[in-house]
Amino acid sequence: MEMNQDNSTYMQPREIQQVLLIALIAMLRMFGLFSLLPVISIYASNLDGATPILIGLSVGAYGLTQALLQVPFGFFF
């Protein structure tokens, strides 16, 4: 079976550049998110009056804020 390869199905260099830029942005965002979560819990445990409940609430509030504001800020910026 012979397949005709159409060059229009391949991505152009400009499209590849844009895809790589978006992938880099997503990678840096995920790296920042997952590198911050362990550090914030360790840092918060050294604060006066810190309890595991309050530390969990702060980490949860951070994640919830990220989730709620991701769509609006992604839409406008």
Q: Rounded CA gap, 53 and 2, in Å?
A: 64
pLDDT tens digit sequence for 27-46? 988 888 788 888 888 899 89
Confidence band of 22 (pLDDT split at 50, 70, 90): very high
pLDDT score of 29 = 82
Residue 33 lies in a domain: yes
pLDDT score of 67 = 84
pLDDT tens digit sequence for 46-63? 999 999 999 999 888 988
Output the pTM of the full model: 0.56
Range of the domain at 39: 12-76
The pLDDT mean for the chain works out to: 85
Count of domains observed in the chain: 1
Q: Rounded CA gap, 39 and 16, in Å?
A: 35
